[in-house]
Amino acid sequence: MDYATADDRRAYTETFIAQLRHLFQTDTDWNTGMEWVGARALTDDVAVVLYRDRPNGPVLGRRYDLPQERALFTDNSAKALAAEAWTGDFVDPSGPGEPRAVDWADGLCDTPGDVRWVGVA
């Protein structure tokens, strides 16, 4: 797929988010106690996902630079990439995360400043 246009990149990002949400909601082998909080396309190429990995746990956030992620896999369709993220990033406990002074969670939860970010350098 040609990712050159902004519309193509945005559609890819939205498909990635939709598939990841679908996995959160339907993968009953792994989603026990997990909660989807929200997600959005931060830009045409960057997705932000908020979730809880355990009941009453903190809101955790992950940020995906999708061109970088696509480069890691042979099957780099949005759905395949979401499946890789699901199994690689979400099905095991994520750890405590760390606070960051960013606006990535704005509009996705009640207290975006309290989000604990995981796997973000």
Domain membership of residue 113 as a residue range:
6-117
> What is the tens place of the pLDDT at every residue in 70-98?
888 888 899 999 999 999 888 877 778 99
**Short-list 96, 94, 82, 84, CA closest to 34:** 94
| Three-class DSSP category at 79 | helix
- Tokens 């809880």, located at residue: 52
Residue 31 lies in a domain: yes
Residue 25 lies in a domain: yes
pTM of the predicted structure, to 2 decimals: 0.91
By the 8 A CB rule, do 48 and 108 touch?
yes
> What is the tens place of the pLDDT at every residue in 11-67?
999 999 999 999 999 998 888 889 999 999 999 999 999 999 888 889 999 999 999
**60-65 vs 116-117, strand pairing mode:** parallel
What total of structural domains would you count in the chain? 1
**Short-list 22, 111, 104, CA closest to 64:** 104
Residue 56 lies in a domain: yes
